[in-house]
Chains A and B, each alone.
Chain A
Amino acid sequence: MSKEINNLKRTAVQIRKDIMDISAHCGGGATHVGPALSAADIVAALYFKIMNVDPTNPSWEDRDRFILSKGHAYSVLYAALAERGYFPREELMTTRNINSRLQGHPVLGKTPGVDMVSGSLGNGLSCGLGIAMGLKLQGKRKPRVYVMLGDGESQEGMVWEAAMCAPNKGIDNLVAIVDYNHLQSCGALDEINSLHPMVEKWESFGWKVFEMNGHDMDDIVSKLLIAREYAGQPVCLIAHTVKGRGVSFIEHNNAWHAKIATEAEYQAAIEELDAQLTAIDADED
């Protein structure tokens, strides 16, 4: 297990390096770095451990689905898909470029591996619920639908429409993951429109809630494994996260909500991330 966990940690670091690379070098304007880094560990665990997918057949109908409802974190999804083999890694540098398959927010049918459009916050959980309902209706017991929501996104009313509806429809093949990093585009959630108490909200809507440290790979994997097998209720994982996680000068720094990394910032970030890889290697020795 620990070797596998270390490999997942390495993948998460690689995804973070890709995100920094996109921010510094894609030429497509400001990249939403903080929201992407925040979700990197969870997305790595999903695509490299939890989800049953086939990069050679992205629209395989029995696959697990992942909807990045906080679509502005596109770079974490594009990086994970590239690392998983859905398209060449070099293509990441076309993110937000003219004629690229990697559009400004994820587009179904445009990017291999993207399971649903996002880009209007609040819409993803309803779509995930629809897919989950469809899978049940079609008698497909195995596939699961994972929807990652931003905490700021959860200010949208439609999140709670879907949250109310899912348990009432007997859905238990749907997992909502809230990236609870406490920062939204223009500041702190608690100052703008607080979501507190997040756990109680989801529980009262009828979801089985687990909290996890969204940057502890052991915790992430164990909670996602429970969520995947959980029956009788939809599961909500409240992931306690840090916006910008993994790069010291980006963590908790909302100036990086969307930003082009300078070459110096890029190099400094890569140095830190490479040091994390070395530390993982040392841990294994």
Chain B
Amino acid sequence: MFQLAPKNTKTEPMRDVLAKTLIELAKENENIVVLDADLIGASGLKAFQKAFPERTFDCGIQEGNMVGVAAGLSENGLIPFTHTFSCFAGRKCIDQAFLSASYAGLNIKMIGSDGAVTATTNGGSHQGMEDMGIFRNLNNITIVEPTDANMLRALLPAIVDSYGVFYIRQFRRCTDAVYTEDSTFTLGKGNLLRDGSDATIIAAGIEVPEALKAAELLAEEGLQIRVVDMFTWKPLDEELIVDCASKTGAIVTAENHCLATGLGSAVASVVTKTVPVPMEMIGVDEQYGEVGDLNYLMKKFNLTAEDIAAKVKKAIARKGR
């Protein structure tokens, strides 16, 4: 069971939690190994390297080779976690992830750091706005965007225990807690964070707190908005989406990703097949990233609570037309 954390609760940075949790798991499970592509200082996994030097492989700046090597390690029964930035994880590794891991039926866990605008001052080259969408193409992959460090910690044991290819998008410096430390989560099941009958916001990642804020803003106007945290992008919780469409009659998706291949399009493909209702989407629309701090970029790409609230009103206005 999960519980929302009180406002302004902080955690350790997500990357530190990643390393600490993997170290704990690796003490019990000797098959866990870590690979990085010269970002081990950035990923948080330096701590894992210190704890388990023989089980850590820095491949250097060879993302594709790293994923191929991981596939080979998994053929031996090992459980490799690879890491690079989200932009490279998607764009540079898809062939290896497809052929050598997914099509081969192997067991690798790929971590991509800093999706889309969370790459901030690294600029457009590093703002991987397409990583989740690229990996959505793989059959039977599990794609997860932990909402906060507490969720990442809670999910990692299940990720280790679930055979198959994973892509996990981490926001390295994230210290904002959305959930309490003792919350638990189920892969493939969205979290209903707030109920309402006028519309649903289905959000992921940094858009989850924005969605909660948007629901509060709309409550002031008398609208009751349901909020769902869809942290597993694939397999998608279709049952919950159908329930949201049936009970609230309008859906707005909110993601830190390009709209072309993101959560919105995944949700829409469920909605149009089941209970067609008006939908609006928050996300980056046909634009590349640029340098900026997170606040600037969220405003620039219309990812704020106010943007979400406006789209919700638009979706509600389209109801029954």
Contact = CB atoms under 8 A, between A and B. Distances in A.
A130 B101 CA distance: 12
Contacts of B193: none
Interface string A128-168: 11111111011000000000000000000010011011001
Contact of A126 (B33, B68, B104): B68
B283 interface: no
Contact of B59 (A109, A125, A165): A165
B72 A132 contact: yes
B73 interface: yes
A131 B73 contact: yes
A117 B102 CA distance: 10
Nearest to A162: B65
B103 interface: yes
A119 to B, nearest CB: 6
A6 B219 CA distance: 86
B254 interface: no
Interface string B46-89: 00000000110101101011011111111111101000000000
Contacts of B70: 130
Nearest to A71: B99
B95 to A, nearest CB: 5
Interface in A151-206: 158, 161-162, 164-165, 168-169
A116 to B, nearest CB: 7
Contact of A107 (B74, B75, B76, B103): B103
Contacts of B142: none
B223 to A, nearest CB: 50
Contacts of A116: 71-72, 75, 100, 104
A165 B65 contact: yes
Contact of A169 (B57, B71, B76): B57
B64 A117 contact: no
Contacts of B104: 107-109, 116-117
Main secondary structure of the interface of B (DSSP, over half): helix
A134 B99 contact: no
A130 B62 contact: no
Contact of A137 (B64, B67, B78, B99): B78
A120 interface: yes
Contact of A109 (B78, B98, B105): B105
A161 B68 CA distance: 10
Contact of A165 (B54, B60, B78, B103): B60
B65 A161 contact: yes
Contacts of B71: 116, 126-127, 130
A64 interface: no
A133 B72 contact: yes
Contacts of B100: 116-117, 123, 126-127
A229 interface: no
B99 A128 contact: no
Interface residues of A, number: 32
Given A123-B96, A127-B100, A131-B75, A162 B68 contact: yes
A61 interface: yes
A133 B69 contact: yes
A118 B100 CA distance: 7
Nearest to A109: B105
Nearest to B69: A130
B76 A131 contact: yes
Contact of B64 (A107, A109, A126, A169): A126
B65 A61 contact: no
Given A108-B104, A123-B100, A133 B57 contact: yes
B69 A165 contact: yes
A115 interface: yes
Contact of B68 (A65, A127, A137): A127
Nearest to B59: A165
Contact of B95 (A115, A123, A165): A123
Contacts of A138: 76, 78
B57 A158 contact: no
B164 to A, nearest CB: 13
A108 B105 contact: yes
A120 B59 contact: no
Given A133-B73, A138-B78, A165-B59, 8 more contacts: A123-B100, A131-B73, A135-B76, A137-B55, A137-B78, A161-B59, A168-B60, A169-B57
5 contacts: A61-B77, A123-B100, A127-B69, A158-B62, A165-B69
Interface of B: 33, 54-55, 57, 59-60, 62, 64-65, 67-78, 80, 95-96, 98-100, 103-106
A-B complex: 8 closest residue pairs judged by Cβ atoms: A130-B72, A126-B68, A134-B76, A161-B65, A130-B69, A117-B104, A131-B72, A161-B62
